[in-house]
Amino acid sequence: MVVDGGEFETKIYVKKEAAPLLAWDVAHKYSYESAASGGARPDHIAIGAATDPYQPAEREYGVTRACLEELAKREGLSVSIITKSNQIVRDIDLLQRIAERSNLGIDITITTLRAGLTRLLEPRAPRPDLRLQAVKQLREAGLAVGVSASPLIPGITDREGDLEAVAAAAKEMGAQWFFSGVLFLMPSSAKQFLPFVREKFPRLAKQYEEWYAKNGYAPEEYRKKASLRVARIREEFGFAARPSVEAKGKVRCSQMSLSWDVDLVGPSVVPPEMLVGSAAGAR
């Protein structure tokens, strides 16, 4: 099913049978008992890689919680969750059960601490301070948690000191790792985002047209500088570069590292390929 970017917030599809379908998939592909794993290491389960698992509708339908209940029944899975909603703390009990028997890493997305800018970019996402409190609650619950500052949006969220401020706040709340990647724009996203830039950030309009009109990537020089900046931030605050979670269950190696690409998204004025579920959660 293909949904146009302009319909991303008006057409909501709920997969009511997601949990039973997930149970079948886990049994056949994502567990050590499955033939696909070869009895050594099953495929990784990434929750939130297409859109945020904690949309406002989750309160009514509970699809994500039902899926977590299925995962909590299993042993030795490899699971990651990425969200920008503090709604995730509702499921701490299930997350702890999963983490007891499987490898679980959680990422909370925070791209800026500027509340006004957050409201503009992610109009239905919780405030940055609420997401930071979620990081703290999850860590206090003994869960492995990091912060994603992706995407880094050129000229908008990359102001000197802003990314560093996110990292400092994340460290204070107990985050264990930190990462950020530069905005990547698919053509469908560019159709939504470039007009938004022209309206809200007219001084950047020409730059964005030059950078993204024909290419989904920012110039290589900019991406290299951003990568070095993130590396310096990690070193300054003592962050790991990526999730590293103690292996649980029948893993034959001593440790399993979880990593994933994070130029992700969900519904907001920032299009789906850019952010992770910006409609996630209520304030």
Per-residue pLDDT of the chain (283 residues; tens, 9 = 90+): 555 656 666 777 888 889 988 888 888 777 665 555 555 666 889 999 888 999 988 999 999 999 999 999 988 889 999 999 999 999 999 999 999 999 999 999 999 999 999 999 998 899 999 999 999 999 999 999 999 999 999 999 999 999 999 999 999 999 999 999 999 998 888 988 999 999 999 999 999 999 998 889 999 999 999 999 999 999 999 998 776 555 555 543 333 344 444 333 333 444 433 443 334 444 3
What whole-number distance in Å separates Cα of residue 192 and Cα of residue 117?
A: 18
Query: Could you tell me the CATH number of the domain that includes residue 36?
Result: 3.20.20
What whole-number distance in Å separates Cα of residue 273 and Cα of residue 153?
A: 13
Buried b (16+ CB within 10 A) or exposed e, 200-222: eeeebeeebeebbeeeeebeeee
Q: What's the number of domains the chain is made of?
A: 1
What whole-number distance in Å separates Cα of residue 188 and Cα of residue 92?
A: 35
At residue 283, the pLDDT reads 36
**Does 198 map to a domain?**
no
At residue 1, the pLDDT reads 54
What tokens appear for 218 in the block? 């920012």
**Does 207 map to a domain?**
no
What whole-number distance in Å separates Cα of residue 34 and Cα of residue 53?
A: 25
**Does 251 map to a domain?**
yes
Residue partners of 86: CB distance under 8 A and separation at least 6:
126, 130, 131, 133, 134, 281
At residue 99, the pLDDT reads 97
Q: Are 218 and 182 in contact (CB under 8 A)?
A: yes
Quote the domain boundaries for residue 69.
5-188+219-257
For residue 125, give the amino acid letter: A
**Does 193 map to a domain?**
no
**Does 213 map to a domain?**
no
**Does 40 map to a domain?**
yes
For residue 55, give the amino acid letter: Q
At residue 233, the pLDDT reads 97
Q: Write down the pTM of the prediction.
A: 0.83
**Does 211 map to a domain?**
no
**Does 283 map to a domain?**
no
Query: Helix, strand or coil for residue 220?
Result: helix
At residue 272, the pLDDT reads 39
